């Protein structure tokens, strides 16, 4: 699935990283606790979160994530967007709640923690 497909499925607005929209991603996770992302998430390309602070972008960078989607219409600060640009991370916002956004992505084939389609 491409980041652009995620944008379309979630009705998301791209805040930065539009040059990355054609990148393929194969997994995602949803969390507001960055400590859990660091401890338990492996090989995830997309992070969905309602937490809006610079630690989200730093965590995504440390975990080699390609995209951060802020749920519930949360909007990162201009400093966060600048940091994401520097790190090469696409950032989007969607009006959806995290549960719904994760469910839509899952039902369209995006998995987490190494799950397969089978």
Q: What is the CATH number of the domain that holds 29?
A: 3.40.1390.20
Q: Which regions of the chain are under pLDDT 70?
A: 113-118
Tell whether 115 is covered by a domain.
Answer: no
What pLDDT, on the 0 to 100 scale, is given for residue 6? 98
- Structural domain including 92 reads 3-107
Tell whether 116 is covered by a domain.
Answer: no
Q: What span, in angstroms and rounded, lies between the C-alpha atoms of 25 and 68? A: 12
What pLDDT, on the 0 to 100 scale, is given for residue 118? 43
What pLDDT, on the 0 to 100 scale, is given for residue 113? 63
User: Can you give the pTM of this predicted structure?
Assistant: 0.92
Tell whether 41 is covered by a domain.
Answer: yes
What pLDDT, on the 0 to 100 scale, is given for residue 28? 93
How many domains does the structure of the chain reveal? 1
Report percent pLDDT > 70 for the chain: 95
Tell whether 52 is covered by a domain.
Answer: yes
If one counts every other C-beta atom within 10 angstroms of the C-beta of residue 64, the result is 11
Instruction: Provide the b/e sequence for 30-57 (b: ≥16 CB within 10 Å).
Output: bbeebeebeeebeebbbbbbebbeeebb
Tell whether 117 is covered by a domain.
Answer: no
What pLDDT, on the 0 to 100 scale, is given for residue 115? 53
Tell whether 70 is covered by a domain.
Answer: yes
């Amino acid at each position: 699935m491409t980041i652009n497909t995620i944008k379309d499925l979630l009705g998301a607005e791209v805040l930065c990283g539009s040059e990355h929209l054609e990148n393929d991603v194969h997994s995602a996770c949803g969390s507001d606790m960055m400590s859990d992302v660091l401890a338990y998430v492996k090989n995830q390309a997309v992070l969905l979160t309602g937490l809006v602070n610079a630690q989200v972008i730093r965590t995504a960078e440390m975990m080699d994530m390609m995209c951060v989607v802020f749920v519930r219409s949360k909007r990162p600060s201009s400093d966060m967007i600048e940091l994401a640009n520097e790190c090469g991370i696409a950032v989007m916002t969607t009006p959806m709640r995290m549960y719904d956004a994760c469910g839509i992505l899952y039902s369209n084939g995006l998995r987490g923690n190494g799950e397969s389609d089978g």
